[in-house]
Amino acid sequence: MSDTALRRRQSARASFARAAALVILAFAVLWTAGPARADIRVTDVMGREVTLAKPAERVLLGFYFEDYIAITGPGAIDRLAAVSLHYWKGYRPRQYEAYLAALPKIADLVDVGDVDNGTMSVEKIVAARPDVAILSVGQIQYLGASAAQIEAAGIHIVAVDYNAQTVEKHVASTLVIGKVMGTEERAGRLARAYQAAVDDTLARVRAAGAAGKPKVYVELGQKGPREYGNSYGKGMWAGVIDLVGGANIAAGQVANWGPLNPEYVISARPDAIFVTASEWMGMPDAVVMGFGVDPALTRERLRPYLERAGWADLPAVRNGEVYAIYHGGTRSLYDYVYARFMAKVLYPQAFADVDPRAELAAYYKENLPISPDGEFMLRLEPGS
């Protein structure tokens, strides 16, 4: 073999050895690093596309606190950096206290302000350094052009919407949160359970027959019996009445919400009356119920409504169909429980085997770190 041929063969062997070494090194790196993580691509309920490198580790949560906790599961609070506190502590103070007792880290969360009081602060949001801001559609609309400042700081904004009160938006919002948090299996289970509960409710209502829909009156129980509180012509409790096959006496009387004329309520002769109640302990005349509230106090605050002028002759009052229902019982992943309670009032035979209180307790036991300690739906029994 000539010297030239020998040098060529040696060079080829060296090149092969270097290539083999690179291949081995590449496999070693892949073995050490594990499989490459694909980007997480999320399309939120506003159709906005967001790409995350990994599940969120620091979250700003604007609303839907219990839904976020249920979807994220254990460690949900550890992954929160900031909240809009007014929408939790302000609206549901005793619910907030129950979570605070179970999860003390909640006290350390940054409060970024709220939309209602015009205090939601871009500066506070940026300073909290979240990876992702999970906000309601209304909160994003409030931020407007300021949302660009948040995104410019490297914070992804994701929109969710349980306020729309549609199965589609409930399911989509649940799946979005699950994808952002890396808990897609848990989110899928919750979304399927919600869909199934609503489907079952609708099937029972259809089976009961739509003819002669019972007439329903819902009133916000903050002001007490001396002044008529808001009713709902569209959205909120109006959406629940529509879902369960009731005839809403406020439909066409108020655009969204507002008080009805007392004479009109009497003339409409509702078959069932629901006064919404919550942990409004600072309102002396409000109907109160919920976490840690004695049901006797709920009945005490509700009973004077029956003494309003003209109410004694209403079918709902004569037949003992007057109820208190938790005002926070709409626009959440377990709002089907309250819909089923209302449906059972309207169509008792179709829902004879349904126990909404037990369903609420089961939802909490399976998905949340606290128990629903208190009454969240009750009937004012005649003479009670």
pLDDT digits (tens, 9 = 90+) for 191-243: 999 999 999 999 999 999 766 799 999 999 999 999 999 999 998 999 999 99
User: How many angstroms separate the CA atoms of 115 and 118, rounded?
Assistant: 5
CA proximity to 302, closest of 382, 215, 217, 225: 225
**Are 269 and 218 within one domain?**
yes
Domain of residue 375 covers: 211-379
206 occurs within a structural domain: no
pLDDT score, position 91 = 87
User: How many angstroms separate the CA atoms of 90 and 344, rounded?
Assistant: 31
192 occurs within a structural domain: no
pLDDT at 28 over 60: no
**Are 370 and 331 within one domain?**
yes
194 occurs within a structural domain: no
DSSP assignment letter at 270:
-
List C-alpha distances in Å: 191 to 64, 175, 180: 15, 7, 15
pLDDT score, position 212 = 79
**Are 281 and 307 within one domain?**
yes
**Are 219 and 251 within one domain?**
yes
pLDDT, averaged across the chain: 90
CA proximity to 380, closest of 335, 343, 345: 345
312 occurs within a structural domain: yes
pLDDT at 14 over 80: no
| pTM higher than 0.85 | yes
For the purposes of burial, counting CB atoms within 10 Å of the CB of 28, is it exposed (0-12), middle (13-18) or buried (19 or more)?
A: exposed
**Are 345 and 267 within one domain?**
yes
pLDDT score, position 384 = 67
191 occurs within a structural domain: no
Cβ neighbour number for residue 269 with a 10 Å cutoff:
13
User: In this structure, are residues 42 and 180 in contact, taking their beta carbons and an 8 Å threshold?
Assistant: yes
Quote the number of domains for the chain.
3
**Are 55 and 148 within one domain?**
yes
DSSP assignment letter at 90:
I
Beta carbons within 8 Å of 284's beta carbon, 6+ residues apart:
224
126 occurs within a structural domain: yes
**Are 28 and 46 within one domain?**
no
pLDDT score, position 342 = 98
Confidence class for position 26, pLDDT limits 50, 70, 90: very low
pLDDT at 11 over 90: no
Residue 10 backbone dihedrals phi, psi, to 5 degrees? -65, -40
With a pLDDT cut of 90, the percent of the chain lying above it is 85
User: In this structure, are residues 324 and 275 in contact, taking their beta carbons and an 8 Å threshold?
Assistant: yes
CA proximity to 179, closest of 125, 128, 120, 134: 134
**Are 115 and 166 within one domain?**
yes
1 occurs within a structural domain: yes
Residue-wise pLDDT for 42-91, tens only, equals: 999 999 999 999 999 999 999 999 999 999 999 999 999 999 999 899 88
Residue 95 backbone dihedrals phi, psi, to 5 degrees? -65, -45
For the purposes of burial, counting CB atoms within 10 Å of the CB of 112, is it exposed (0-12), middle (13-18) or buried (19 or more)?
A: buried
**Are 260 and 327 within one domain?**
yes
**Are 13 and 157 within one domain?**
no
325 occurs within a structural domain: yes
CA proximity to 94, closest of 291, 237, 288, 241: 291
**Are 89 and 119 within one domain?**
yes
Cβ neighbour number for residue 58 with a 10 Å cutoff:
15
**Are 133 and 233 within one domain?**
no
CATH, residue 325: 3.40.50.1980
